[in-house]
Every structure is written in structure tokens, then in C-alpha cells.
């Protein structure tokens, strides 16, 4: 069975909250943070990465609605698996554009004015790419084992 819109939304929310949250917690201390020496645990940097994760989640719901409309023009009414990986480009670019323009609410001072420090792009790129790739791999492979009925329920988690 093909994932339904409701199933894709549930899967996206579940994966970003659970996997994205865990990966963000683990990867944030090793992201480039612009300080000399070894990067460390910094509360503001965690706040920034989790706000970015929340932004990806909220915009992802909008993206799923757009993708649903586009998929209606396809004969199978679904994406090839590779499209699910490639959509990271447009989704990541939009989030970065909003960050660069200072339009993401809740960011710490110095980040929300649109004058992002040079290291910030690489921190964003690494964080976003790692989360996206791991979620894509898990959803298209091992997730089907513990959640065996997931694909029979149109991708719904609940």
C-alpha cells in the first residue's frame, strides 16, 4: 500500500521528534560553533539546533501538502524512493533562507538578525544532512521490521 497523506504526516512528525531529537542531542556538541578549541555543551547552541529542528518539522507539514498535490499528477500517486532523499535540497534551502533572513522566531541574539556567522552554515548543513539521511535510511529500510503494519496502514504510526 502507498503511504497516505495522513500516514506521511504522522511518519514525518514521529521521525523528526524521536530520531531528529535524539540525533540533535548527540550531534550538537560536535558541530562547529565558532569558539576556539574543542566544541562543548552550550545551552544556546542546543536551543538553536532544536529551533531549527522545530522549523523543519513545521515547514515539513507544509511541504507534505505541496508534495501531495504534485503526486496527484503522477500515475502511481507516489514518489520514487530517491525523490524522498532529494527533497532534502529544497527543504534545507528554504530553512536556510529563513534563517539567513532572520525569519525564524525564537533564535538567540546575534543569530536572528540575518547576519549569521560563517561557521553557522556548516553547522546547519551537517546537522540537517545527518538527520535527513538517517531518517531517510531508517524509514526506507529497518523501520519496516519493528513496525510491520506501518506500510499496510498507509504509513500511519497511530
Domain ranges of the chain: 5-144
Rounded to whole angstroms, how far apart are CA atoms 108 and 42?
12
Rounded alpha-carbon distances, angstroms, from residue 128 to 53, 70, 121, 156 = 8, 24, 10, 24
Compute the CA torsion angle 130, 10, 147, 25 (nearest 10 deg): 30
Cβ-contact 31, 117 below 8 angstroms = no
Rounded to whole angstroms, how far apart are CA atoms 3 and 132?
19
Instruction: Please give the residue that has the higher pLDDT: either 139 or 34.
Output: 139
- Of 42, 60, 62, 45, nearest to 126 by C-alpha is 45
Please give the model's pTM, rounded to 2 decimal places.
0.86
Q: Quick one: how far is CA 75 from the chain centroid?
A: 27
**Reported confidence tier of residue 41, pLDDT bands at 50, 70, 90:** very low
**Reported confidence tier of residue 53, pLDDT bands at 50, 70, 90:** very high
Amino acid at each position: 500500500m502507498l503511504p497516505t497523506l495522513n500516514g506521511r504526516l504522522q511518519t514525518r512528525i514521529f521521525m523528526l521528534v524521536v530520531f531528529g531529537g535524539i540525533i540533535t542531542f548527540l550531534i550538537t556538541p560536535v558541530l562547529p560553533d565558532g569558539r576556539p578549541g574543542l566544541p562543548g555543551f552550550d545551552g544556546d547552541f542546543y536551543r538553536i539546533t532544536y529551533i531549527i529542528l522545530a522549523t523543519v518539522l513545521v515547514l515539513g507539514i507544509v511541504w507534505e501538502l505541496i508534495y501531495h498535490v504534485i503526486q496527484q499528477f503522477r500515475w502511481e500517486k507516489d514518489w520514487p524512493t530517491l525523490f524522498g532523499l532529494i527533497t532534502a535540497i529544497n527543504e534545507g534551502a528554504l530553512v536556510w533562507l529563513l534563517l539567513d533572513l532572520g525569519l525564524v522566531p525564537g533564535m538567540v541574539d546575534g543569530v536572528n538578525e540575518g547576519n549569521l556567522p560563517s561557521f553557522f552554515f556548516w553547522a546547519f548543513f551537517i546537522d540537517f544532512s545527518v538527520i535527513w539521511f538517517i531518517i531517510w535510511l531508517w524509514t526506507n529500510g529497518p523501520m519496516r521490521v519493528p513496525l510491520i503494519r506501518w506500510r499496510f496502514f498507509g504509513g500511519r504510526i497511530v
